[in-house]
Amino acid sequence: MSTWDERFSSGRYPQNPDPDPILTRYLEWAPDGRALDIATGTGRNSVYLATQGYEVDAIDQSIEGLRIARQNAADAGVEDQCEWINADALAFTYPRATYDVITVRSFRVFDRLTDVKAALRSGGMLYYQDHMRTAEGVDYGPPTERRVGANDILRSCLDLTVLHYREFRSGSEDHRGAYAQLVATKTVGDTQPHPHRRTIDPAVE
């Protein structure tokens, strides 16, 4: 059993976590259609995307994570919209211009970003959150050399239209983490998409 299989089966990792608030907030910028969730874990974002009407491909190396994610999708009544792919996301052959939304949370896809961005359709949206290097202590996440540095994700996505970028620390005193977070859309020629479901309140932008 892999480390992640053990974490999932022991219940140490949330079995049915809420989707990322930043994803739920920005999804209206994305076209409807097909989504890819890389390193889905227990399906936090893939199940949410399916409930929003997307056909979802979800990749993870953990069979146990995918088992729980499948159950979460069934409980939400969206199992028919989800394809669970047990694969190594670092070696995966990402299809080109296929997805309207791609999400990656807490997994280092940084070295495959060129292929991940190429997998977006024109106008499609990327949400990527990863662990950051920090001078202060963190209690979880990968070692420093596997963390992104200041503005790494931002710089690597400047060929997209960046809607949101933030570096932040989170967690309680004994559960501290550091993250970089980006939402960006793939430009269409010399134009870019705007929200198609409702207007975002400019006061909170």
Q: Alpha-carbon dihedral of residues 35, 18, 21, 150, nearest 10 degrees?
A: -80
Up-side HSE of residue 26: CA atoms within 13 Å toward CB? Answer: 25
Q: Contacting ligand SAM (CB under 6 A), which of 47, 89, 101, 138?
A: 89
Separation between Cα atoms, residue 67 and residue 94, nearest integer Å: 22
The string of DSSP letters for 31-68 reads PSSEEEEET-TTTHHHHHHHHTT-EEEEEES-HHHHHH
Up-side HSE of residue 52: CA atoms within 13 Å toward CB? Answer: 23
**Least CB distance to ligand SAM at residue 147 (A):** 13
Tokens at 85, concatenated:
């792919």
Stretches 26-34, 36-44, 71-79, 174-182: which one binds ligand SAM (CB under 6 A)? 36-44
Q: Which of residues 98-157 bind ligand SAM (CB under 6 A)?
A: 105-107
The 3-state DSSP class for residue 2 equals coil
Which residue has its beta carbon closest to ligand SAM?
41
Separation between Cα atoms, residue 88 and residue 59, nearest integer Å: 8
Stretches 34-42, 118-126, 172-180, 193-201: which one binds ligand SAM (CB under 6 A)? 34-42
Q: Contacting ligand SAM (CB under 6 A), which of 57, 60, 100, 167?
A: 60
- Is 4 a binding residue for ligand SAM by CB under 6 A? The answer is yes
Q: Contacting ligand SAM (CB under 6 A), which of 10, 88, 135, 143?
A: 88
- Is 177 a binding residue for ligand SAM by CB under 6 A? The answer is no
Q: Contacting ligand SAM (CB under 6 A), which of 1, 74, 90, 150?
A: 90
Q: Which residues bind ligand SAM (CB under 6 A)?
A: 4, 17, 39-41, 44, 59-62, 65, 88-90, 105-107
